[in-house]
Amino acid sequence: MFNIALTGPYGSGKSSIIKTFLKKHRKYWLFKERVLQISLAAFLPEADGSVTTENTFEKDSSAENDGAKGNQPKKGNVSKQEIERSILQQMLYGGDANSLPLSRFKRIQSPKWWSPFVSLFIVLGLAACWHLIQRKEDILDGSYIQPLDHTNWFNLACFVLGFLFVWKTLHYIYIKSFGVSLKSISLKDIEITPETAREESILNRHLDEIIYFFQSTKYDLVVIEDLDRFNNPDIFVTLREINSLINANAGVKRQIRFLYALRDNMFVNTDRTKFFEFIVPVIPIINSSNSIDKIIEQGKRLSLDNHFDRQFLREVSRYLNDLRLIQNIFNEYTIYGKNLKTDVENILDPNKLLAILIYKNVLPSDFEELHREKGKLAEILNKHNELIKNAETQYKSQISELEQQINDAEKQVSSNLGELRKIYAMTLIDKIPHGYTTIEFNEKSINSIQSLWSHEDFEQLLETRQITCRTPQKQRRNVVLAGLQEEVDADKTYQERKQEIEHKSDEFRNNASKTIRELRAKISNLRMTKFNEIIRIDINSTERLFEAFGESKELVKFLVFEGFLDDTYYQYTSLFHSGRLSPNDNKFLIQIRAFNNPESDFQIDNPKEVIAAMREDDFRQHFVLNVILVDCMLSNPNECGHQISGLLEFISSNFEECGAFFTTYYERGKQISELTSGLLGKWPGFVSAALGSSENVTHVARFIAHLPEEHLKTLHQKDDQISKFVSTNLSEILALGVDFDPDRLKLLPFETQELKNIQQYPAIVRLLIDEGLFKVTIENIEFIFRDVFGLPNVEELQTKHYSTVLKSARTNLINKIEDDFERYFKRVLLTLENNAEEDVSSIIKVINHEEIEGKELEEFIDKQSAKLPSLDHVPARLYASLFRLQKINASWDNCLGFVASKNFDADTLTAFLEQDDTKAVLSLVTIDDDEPTHPLRQFLIHNNDMEEDAYRTYVRVLPKQFKQFPNDIDSGKLLILIEEEKITFSKSNFARLADHLDYQVSFIEKNIERYFEIKDQFTFDDDFREKLLNSDITDDQKLRIIGDMDMALIAGLPARAFAIGALFYRTNADFSYLTDEAAQAVIISTKPVEVQVALFNKCHNILSDDQIRQTLQKMPDPFPDFKPGWRQPTIPNTEANVKFVELLVARRIISSWRVFWSEEIRVYNFRS
């Protein structure tokens, strides 16, 4: 067996087994030099455990110029040649240099005991050679050695000594020539080196040296350790080949064995069984599962078992599986513990000290860097402020998310309540009869049923048992609402369902608000929170910081996250005594003594000691502006009163120079409240100076966040401009991310300009709305509706802004508008061009604001499309405006209210009544006949300014007749009164029309029956009666008029005769009482001929034959031809004409007649 493997994991005890074996085996106890130990444990500690081959070289940028220097191994890798060189060096330099005289690797040899004799021999040899050279002629001729006896001993001795010296010298040179080889040829600027010298294996290249080594030494066992750390099986192959060559060499008379200590996974599969002749497995005595026992043993060994937290030991033991490492950690703990406890006041945590020493032993290089505040762990610890900012950002993000959820929940509540109201409203509307548009209950009215669900009195309506519904024509009907809520939900009332929705919202809001308060408390305590708690806030984002620790990442994470490695490490890594200044403290004092201003965030470890070491004047200079110093002073006001006064005095006198300090202190300082409060108390102009600085937004944000409430309430008294500043720059203030309770904004009197700019801060927005801390503008109210309340009717704000606001039922918003209604009216209602669809109830609310001028209200009213149903709740000063602008419903109640008011204007009402829409409505409604309406009736009948068409319309709807004609109206309206029969018929009223004969006729015509009753009171002639005959009275009434006429006079009055004749014809009345002249006049004057024939047939007995002939001559053709002669006139064949010709035949006016072709009657006259 020439290749033996001792296998086991790292730390399993392979080296200990080898040492024990060498110690106990007597053979190797007596001959220690016969074992050659090669270890690579300390070889290139910066290596990463990988081996560089020819494929892993990187080309140097200067390779072309430097030849062989161009190929260099990558940093952190170990080349195979370097490993082989290390093995060769440990092998050759491990033996005695004197035992390897022919080795080409020259080493320093120690002089032996015979070295003085050798040096004497050299001197004598050189002297003998010099003597022989001087006697060369004697040597050549042979005389030099004559005689060969003792007398010539000197010459013979010199000759022998010189010969021996030359022979020995040549022999030495000859022997040394075996170790000479030509590796390269170097000229001035050129070096020639064989390529194989760089690429071939060093062990193979110096194989002869290795064989010579074993030939010249007595080693028969080579122990090779830690070669497996480079993960390159090729090296083992090379060593196996060398072992085979050595054992096969004839010059080596013994067996040479190689013992390899390596881990189990060095060879894959079964390769290792082929490589090694014998494998000795090592059973580990420690691993991560039982390391706790070894740690406890070490604690007991050093009497430290009661110092540590057992839970910490149990958890950290999982990361330690090397017994030697554990032993060294505890050994160092003993030393560190004794030295660090020299300061009795400095109480150290033994668990932290042990953690520091674990870190020191596992990562010694990084521990060394930590002393200089460098390295991987220092990089993590230096991110303290960054981690705090990240934690603040994370907490603020969670707060914003919760605030948004609260906002969304309240929007949902609004939506849910709206849906609930609509459900009940629809059920109620189904009960209202068709055509009824107004609901009245409890002395209240709702005029728009379609928007019933959004009315402010809707909930009261649901509790009403009976309501009254009314049509536009004032028809009323009662509707019973009892049982309405049971129809919607038999189990729960409306109020119960409403409370359920609100309760769910309140519960969520309370829980979210509690969480927000907890998060704000965490933010305020972040700078006092331990490092491990801060870094654990967002483990995912800090994961990358630990990647640099490689295999030790999990151990470092455990120590850091559990708080055993934190920013107090310096107390455990160096001696520290209270009352002493740290290097940082000294550096600070040195700088201020040199009148240099350190940065405001300069690290000071012992601020109290630094304060004590500073001069009194230093606190009135720039030196005092250090975050840690200021925190220390302000946290100890009793001890540092004078220093605080100096600080405040310096800041107030040099405020502009303190900008960088404030920026840093606001971020890292812990006593911001005390600092700002102190400045406010000592310096009246602090607020003004802060507002005037370039960092004014930052200052104001910190005022809001940190000032005590009593100072914040009176802040505007220091400078009233701060309210304007907050109002204008609130978005910039919030954008700084300075966390504070939103309720603190209530302490400042301001109104933010644009809520939209702070929409990413829902809690702030909600507070400002609830408290009314915003300007009443179109944009702000739209933002509130859309983004805060989430109401669906945002578009309605453009057309009916105030109505939409009232329907939202948002008390805070409504109160804000009502409190500043004049500004709202001017900036919103009058500004919106399309705001023309306000509800009636909203319009009434608007016009009842007495602070608004009448002209502005008129402008608002004029824009509205809606008309007020009545003058109820309308201020009297606007009555005229409503009628003038046609913005009041046309009703006699409204007109009466206007007429009865102190602000009545007749022209305005007249113009209103003359409108077509008004006439169309009022013409259908009769005015009530009662005492209250008397002024309106009087206004109408006496209104001479009204157009006649309108006058007729309204006179027509007057309920009864007036006793006399008005005195102040023109003739046209008199006629209208007559035609509409609105004046009582009397002699006096008839006489009032004396100037208007036609009106008198019409007056009698409209009151003919009354005339017949009192006709004895009237005296007028037949001409007037003739006009009555031509009026529209009935034929019977006209016959009664004719009865009062003198019929004898009609013979000379053809028009009258015509009227009478036509009447007789229509009525078939008996007029036999007429005189012959009257009868003749009636027949002649009446038209057409058919009527004349009919009248003739009725009254021919009255006429004589001559009168008949005269009458026929005055009638139309062909009647004048009814006379003696040869003419034979024809007339139509009608019944009346047949009777007519028969009468003429009977009276011997004509001879005879005959019907021809059934269509005509031919008349035959007498011949003479």
pLDDT band at 413 (very low <50, low <70, confident <90, very high): low
Return the structure tokens found at 302.
Answer: 């050093």
CA distance 718 to 680: 9
- Based on the fold, state whether residues 670 and 808 are members of the same structural domain: yes
Query: 3-class SS at 520?
Result: helix
Torsion of CA 956, 959, 960, 965, to 10 degrees: -50
Same domain, 303 and 449: no
Could you tell me if residue 414 is inside a domain?
yes
**Cis bond leading into 749, ω under 30°?**
no
User: In the 8-state DSSP scheme, what is residue 885?
Assistant: T
Instruction: From residue 755, give the alpha-carbon distance in Å to each of 768, 770, 773, 788, 1061.
Output: 9, 13, 10, 10, 93
Q: Residue 53: what pLDDT?
A: 47
Above 60 in pLDDT, residue 75?
Answer: no
Contact 354, 333 (CB under 8 A): yes
| Cβ atoms of 875 and 902 closer than 8 Å | no
Same domain, 650 and 764: yes
Same domain for 681 and 802, yes or no, is yes
What does the alpha-carbon distance between residue 449 and residue 414 come to, in Å, rounded to a whole number?
21
Question: For residue 179, how many other CB atoms are within 10 A of its CB?
Answer: 15
Q: Which amino acid is at 464?
A: T
- Write the pLDDT tens digit of every residue in 238-295: 888 888 888 888 788 888 888 888 877 777 666 667 778 888 888 776 766 667 777 7
Lowest average pLDDT, out of 107-121, 332-346, 795-809, 1126-1140, goes to: 332-346
Judgement on whether residues 727 and 865 belong to the same structural domain of the protein: yes
User: What number is the average pLDDT over the span 783-798?
Assistant: 84
d(CA 134, CA 127): 11
Residue 125 lies in a domain: yes
- 8 A C-beta contact, residue 452 and residue 429: yes
- The pLDDT of residue 287: 66
Q: How far apart are alpha carbons 846 and 826 in whole angstroms?
A: 12
Least Cα distance to 260 among 280, 242, 232 occurs for 280
Residues 148 and 231 in one domain: no
Contact 634, 673 (CB under 8 A): no
Residues forming beta bridges with residue 1132, ordered by sequence position: 1160
Least confident of 262-266, 285-289, 575-579, 749-753: 575-579
Tell me, what's the pLDDT at 61? 39
Which residues contact residue 484 at a Cβ distance below 8 angstroms, ignoring those fewer than 6 apart?
A: 424, 427, 428, 431, 462
Look at residue 962 and tell me if it is in a domain.
Answer: no
Residue with the two structure tokens 């031809």: 1121
Q: 537 with 526: CB under 8 angstroms?
A: no
Are 744 and 812 members of one domain?
yes
Beta-carbon-side half-sphere exposure of residue 311 (alpha carbons within 13 Å): 3
Does residue 719 sit within a domain? yes
What pLDDT shows up at residue 178? 64
- Burial of 626-662, coded b for 16+ CB within 10 Å and e otherwise, reads bbbbbbbbbeeeeebeebbebbbebbbeebeebeebb
Check residue 57 and give its pLDDT.
Answer: 40
Sign, Cα dihedral of 489, 493, 499, 500: negative
Structure letter (DSSP) for residue 658: G
500, 526, 552 - which closes a domain: 526
Tokens of 270: 């079964």
Q: What is the mean pLDDT of residues 479-496?
A: 83
Same-domain pairing of 320 and 275: no
Q: Which pLDDT does position 26 carry in this prediction?
A: 54
Tell me what the mean pLDDT of segment 28-41 comes to.
66
Distances (CA, A) of 905 to 365, 898, 933: 103, 8, 17
Give the whole-number percent of the chain exceeding pLDDT 90.
Answer: 12
Residue appearing with tokens 């099986």? 233
Same domain, 295 and 357: yes
Task: Mark whether 274 and 422 lie in a shared domain.
Answer: no
Judgement on whether residues 139 and 251 belong to the same structural domain of the protein: no
Q: Which amino acid is at 295?
A: I
Q: Is the pLDDT of residue 910 over 90?
A: yes
Helix axes 233-248, 80-92, angle to 10 degrees: 40
**Is 39 part of a structural domain of the chain?**
yes
Least confident of 99-103, 677-681, 705-709: 99-103
Domain of 314?
Answer: 291-362+530-573
Please give the tally of structural domains in the chain.
Answer: 5
**For residue 343, which phi and psi values (nearest 5 degrees)?**
-95, 105
Last residue of a domain, one of 179, 194, 225: 179
Q: Is residue 198 part of a domain?
A: yes
Q: Are 820 and 770 in contact (CB under 8 A)?
A: no
Other Cβ atoms within 10 Å of 763 Cβ, number: 20
Give the C-alpha separation, 83 to 60, whole Å.
22
CATH number at residue 239: 3.40.50
196 assigned to some structural domain: yes
- pLDDT above 70 covers a percentage of the chain that reads 88
CA dihedral 162, 168, 171, 175 (to 10 degrees): -150
pTM score, whole prediction: 0.55
Q: Quick check: is 963 in a domain?
A: no
Look at residue 536 and tell me whether its pLDDT is greater than 70: yes
Q: Check residue 41 and give its pLDDT.
A: 64
Q: Which of 19-33, 195-209, 862-876 has the highest mean pLDDT?
A: 862-876
224 in the same domain as 335: no
For the chain, give percent helix, strand, coil, nearest 5.
60, 5, 35
Residue 1160's DSSP bridge partners are 1132, 1156
Of 159, 179, 199, the last residue of a domain is 179
User: Is a pLDDT exceeding 90 seen at residue 909?
Assistant: yes
Q: pLDDT at position 630, please?
A: 92
